[in-house]
Amino acid sequence: DGGITQSPKYLFRKEGQNVTLSCEQNLNHDAMYWYRQDPGQGLRLIYYSQIVNDFQKGDIAEGYSVSREKKESFPLTVTSAQKNPTAFYLCATRDRGTVDEQFFGPGTRLTVL
Amino acid sequence: GESVGLHLPTLSVQEGDNSIINCAYSNSASDYFIWYKQESGKGPQFIIDIRSNMDKRQGQRVTVLLNKTVKHLSLQIAATQPGDSAVYFCAENESGYSTLTFGKGTMLLVSP
């Protein structure tokens, strides 16, 4: 998992509530990504950011929001507009200056009750 | 742990066998490919990568083969061990784009 921290590991929320997932990195990587993973499916891109104060929608951005105020942090908010938020959420980083490989955090399992 | 393997294609092998995991990719313009390993409840870990100017690359106990003609990627694991049991994903990237496209994954089960 390297220098990527996701907290908490398990998160529970009531239907209709917004919740924010944390992702912090000390790798000094410029790019950060959020993915959603459901059983039997690959990783699907929610949002990504290549530089501070800038971010782009991925394939499934509806019902989610992000911010990138600091290089080290890329929090993801799951809003009440997300119809099926229960999933495993993964944060990743990439060093744009060198390689294309993405490094992943340990993930957060979100369950909506 | 996280049940990411539910409904995934599964490859079952015996300890000591060689394993071959396959992946078909979709974008003929992709020029960089990665294999990741994901253990239950954890984030994916990098295994090996290959660029499109190569057709084979070897690491420690792993080999990746790339066939651009049929857009096919394979991961070979030699002398498979129980610790290799995990879900394996391939991912592709096209130069100039900062995102990866992931395959659905294959679960590898290694019996002692």
A43: which DSSP letter?
E
Nearest to A48 by CA among A106, A113, A96: A96
Q: For all residues of chain B together, what is the average pLDDT?
A: 91
The reply to whether A45 touches chain B by the CB within 8 Å rule is: yes
pLDDT > 70 fraction of chain A, expressed in percent and rounded: 96
Averaged pLDDT for residues B71-85: 97
* 8 Å CB contact of B98 and A101: no
CA–CA separation, A84 vs A65, rounded Å?
Answer: 15
Tokens at residue B60, please?
């420690």
- Is A88 an 8 Å CB contact of chain B? yes
Where would I find the beta strands (DSSP E) of chain A? 4-7, 10-13, 19-25, 31-37, 43-51, 54-57, 64-66, 76-78, 87-94, 103-104, 108-112
Q: Is B96 on the interface with A (CB under 8 A)?
A: no
Among B102, B104, B106, pick the best mutation site for testing chain A contact (most A Cβ within 10 A): B102
CB contact B34 to A (< 8 Å) = yes
A109 in helix, strand or coil? strand
pLDDT in tens, A4-33: 999 999 999 999 899 999 999 999 999 999
Interface test with A, best of B3, B4, B90 (most A CBs within 10 A): B4
Interface contact flag, B99 A45, Cβ < 8 Å: yes
CA distance B19 to chain A (A): 21
Q: How many angstroms separate the Cα of B66 from the Cα of each of A60, B74, B92?
A: 29, 7, 12
Is B24 within 8 Å of chain A by CB? no
- B10-39: per-residue pLDDT in tens? 999 999 999 999 999 989 999 999 999 999
- As separate numbers, helices (DSSP H) first and strands (DSSP E) second, chain A gives 0, 11
With cut-offs at 50, 70 and 90, classify the pLDDT of residue B1.
very low
User: Residue A46 burial (CB < 10 Å; 0-12/13-18/19+)?
Assistant: buried
Give DSSP secondary structure letters for B32-56: EEEEEEE-TTS--EEEEEEETT-SE
